[in-house]
Amino acid sequence: MFPGMNAKKMQGMMKKMGISQTQLNVNRVVFEMDDGNMVIDDPSVLKVMMQGQETYQITGEAVEEAGESFSDEDVAMVVEKSGKSEDEVRAALEESDGDIAEAIMGLQ
């Protein structure tokens, strides 16, 4: 943390200030957002307790996963209008980037 400072001495100072750190064994961290997910595989996660507050420090390489550009309601509507299976409809919606009209036309 600070160059040239003994790690044991630093831990002792932090303990006196009421700060504790715990390394967590975590395989994956996922941040779910409105427009997709941010995923960190094999992260280094540190749980820090300070003044009754829990804080998590996450280190690792993040990869963004795009969310679907259509909802389950969109799928149900296209299934109803086209008479096709849910799998066929999802594939058509993915191909049309969520454009319902284009997906229905492509399924006919």
Question: Which of residues 21 and 34 earns the better pLDDT score?
Answer: 21
Residue 26 predicted with pLDDT over 60: yes
Where are the chain's structural domains? Answer: 7-66, 72-107
Number of other CB atoms surrounding residue 7 within 10 Å: 9
Domain at 7-66, CATH from 2.70.98, 2.20.70, 2.60.40, 1.10.3470 = 2.20.70
Q: State residue 103's pLDDT score.
A: 92
Q: Per-residue pLDDT tens for 33-55? A: 887 899 999 999 999 999 899 99
Share of the chain above pLDDT 90, in %: 63
Question: Which of residues 32 and 2 earns the better pLDDT score?
Answer: 32
Structurally, at CATH architecture level, domain 72-107 sits in: Orthogonal Bundle (1.10)
Q: Residue 69's closest CA among 50, 46, 90, 48?
A: 90
| Average pLDDT, rounded, for the chain | 90
